[in-house]
Amino acid sequence: MTTADLPGPDSLLRRTLGEWRIGLVAWRLLVLQAADPAVAAGMADYSTYRAHPWRRIEHTMDSGKRLFFSDRDGLRREVARLERTHRRLAGTDGQGRPFTASDPAVRVWVLVTLYECMTAMRELSGCPLVPSELDQMYGEFRAVCAEFELPDDLFPATAADVPAYMDRAIRERLEYSEPVRYLLFDMLREAPAPRRLGRLRPAWPLVRTVSAHLISALTLADLPEAFRERFELRRTRRAALLSFILHRGMRVLMNTLPEHRRYRTPPAGKSLSPQPARAATDRPSRAETSPVRLPSPRRRKGADSRPVRLRTFFRQVLDQTGDGCITAADLQAMAHNVCWPLELAPESEARVYAAFETWWQHLRAGMDADDDGQVTCEEFVTAMLTGIDAGPAYLDEGLHVAVRAVFQAADTDGSGHLCADEYRTIFGGSRVHPAELNHGFLQLDHDGDGRITEDEFVQAFADYFTARTDNTAGSQLLGRP
């Protein structure tokens, strides 16, 4: 396919993909993509969707924005980043079949399902795209896909060929795997509260239960009929009515909203209400450091606080896949999450991944007693305490290699310091409240100049792991104890 002009602000693709109501088919999209065996295997072995669902969804949405709302340079950077990431996702699934996320057919499936979900959104709303509009949007979509340099013959030739492509894939390739079942029925029922919920956080258990029921019903109602038939998924009358009301109601709402309220991602690709950037040396305000505390077990006065902190670190930081143990995939996911918001150059990204691989090999050598490629929480705590008590060099050989790589990656301006924003970028995960991050930064910023040096950063991690009490600054790296 020859290189074509990318879709611009007035393109049908950007206006369709950028609307808030695209969220109504987002779960449908995830289910269809996960039903591909290679995608399911990659999710099972490498994805953080169980432990960090909101972060995983945010990354997916950010990637879509970089792909479909960027200029050609931004698009090519994102394509190259995705290719580097996908090369690392390979292995053997539960049935002994080899898989790789770099498989061209799998990548085409993931892309085409996005286009199909955009057309489904319009059809479900009662205002389907006419053939000329389908051709227009498919042409705009293929102009973006051309940058992936995937074989043309793997894509449907025209917009009119997409339904047959979807039907064939559903009947011949897709599988109803555990990740698909989990996405449909369990993921939202187990999801932790989004960190932006604020004062509504206590109501999350109720909100989660209601939301999970509604999204599951909506997704089952909206999935292609061939998909429901093949995997015997029942579409109830109530679910069909829910779909009718939501899709048509959102269409009416979107048509009545002013332009700047209608889009989650404006067609121009830039925020309609930009926020002023914080200066690099600005310190977090008192309001940002409000007393929101992370829950932790009670300890006897004078007791060694290291085991509790190590278990917290294991649960909140190391166990990225949420399966109760750490493997090479967890450390790889940590490296990915460091690199993701920074958009590093390939060489810098490779250094981060190599540092985390060094850390994993150090962990495995000292903790994986049965050589099964996994480390449990108690194995981690026991081995860390033994190693730390043996001498300070223990951390230098593993943890500090990764910590220094994180610092150097986060120091985007090469100043030799981290400001508060850079610190929050690295540690701003879904399980740690922003106020707690600000508190941790202030504890490490000893001279109050709004900056942390590399040595201070490394020492903070050393203190977090070695301090027997919670009085040192490093012990509050992830917030108040």
Dist CA 234 CA 237 (whole Å): 10
98-100 and 90-92 as β-strands: parallel, antiparallel, unpaired?
antiparallel
pLDDT at site 434: 59
Average pLDDT on 68-76 reads 92
Res. 52: pLDDT tops 90: no
Residues 41, 94 contacting (CB under 8 angstroms):
yes
Q: Which amino acid is at 11?
A: S
Q: Give residue-wise pLDDT tens across range 94-144.
A: 899 999 999 999 999 999 999 999 999 999 999 999 999 999 999 999 999
| This prediction's pTM | 0.74
Phi and psi torsions of 333, nearest 5°: -65, -35
Residues 353, 343 contacting (CB under 8 angstroms):
no
- State both tokens at 447: 């001279």
- CA distances 42 to 26, 45, 361, 363, Å, are 19, 5, 22, 23
Dist CA 12 CA 25 (whole Å): 17
pLDDT at site 285: 42
Q: What is the CA radius of gyration of the chain?
A: 24
Residues 139, 7 contacting (CB under 8 angstroms):
no
Res. 282: pLDDT tops 70: no
Res. 430: pLDDT tops 80: no
Q: What is the mean pLDDT of the chain?
A: 85
Neighbours of 26 (CB within 10 A): 16
Residues 140, 129 contacting (CB under 8 angstroms):
no
pLDDT at site 294: 36
Res. 2: pLDDT tops 90: no
The set of residues, in sequence order, having a beta carbon less than 8 Å from that of 448 and lying 6+ positions away, is: 283
Q: Give residue-wise pLDDT tens across range 186-224.
A: 988 888 877 667 677 788 889 889 999 999 999 999 999
Q: Give residue-wise pLDDT tens across range 295-333.
A: 444 445 557 888 988 898 888 888 888 788 899 888 988
Neighbours of 155 (CB within 10 A): 21
- State both tokens at 82: 């995705």
Dist CA 253 CA 21 (whole Å): 9
